[in-house]
Structure 1
Amino acid sequence: MDTSHEIEVLKKAIKDHGSVNSDGKSSIAYGVLFKKTEDTLEALNGTLRSAKRKKQVTFEGELLMMPRDKEVQVILLE
């Protein structure tokens, strides 16, 4: 499966709805990202894991779950 389109949607959502952190990178809470992409990304966790493997985003842990991880920051590395 080609996830490049989904990763681009993810990156745009982080840029559009996140904020710039102290390192100058776009960052967003997982809970906010979850709400903002629920209509555009069917498999948010799969897309996040793929983007993390490709070193395009980073976050603590392997798998983020709502509501437990709603405050975990997803950071865009590009």
Structure 2
Amino acid sequence: MNVEHEVKLLVEEMNRLGSPGPDGKLQVKFGVLFTDERCANIFEALVGTLRAAKKRKIVTYDGELLLQGVHDDVLISLV
């Protein structure tokens, strides 16, 4: 699967699971994405897709590498 397609799917899933934050940008917690059954079926490597989206300035989040459990409360925002 190509990276651009996976990033597009990520944006769709964030729209489904997220809600507007105080700044009006759509936000979703990493733990919500990671534990969602539909996301688990779509993304082989969710963390890799998030990193690719961050590199392309489509999403923002604190840190470089997100780990399940430790970073479940990290907010991911659509730019």
Per the shorter chain, which TM-score range? over 0.9
Aligned partners of 2:40, 2:27: CA distance in 1, in Å?
A: 18
CA RMSD across the alignment? 1.1
Q: Which position in structure 1 is the counterpart of 2:49?
A: 47
Letter in 1 for 2:78: L
TM-score (norm 2): 0.92
> Is 1:57 the equivalent of 2:56?
no
Provide TM-score, normalisation by structure 1. 0.93
- Asked whether 1:13 is paired with 2:9, we answer no
Gaps of 5+ in 2: none
Q: Which residue of 1 aligns with 2:72?
A: 70
Q: Deviations over 1:42-64 (max 9, x none)?
A: 01111100100000000000000
SS of the aligned residue for 1:74 comes to strand
List runs of 5+ in structure 1 lacking aligned partners. none
Q: Report the residue type matching 1:21 in the other structure.
A: G
Overall identity of the aligned pairs, in %:
40
Partner amino acid, structure 2, of 1:5 = H
Q: Tell me the matched-pair count.
A: 77
Q: Which has the higher helix share?
A: 2
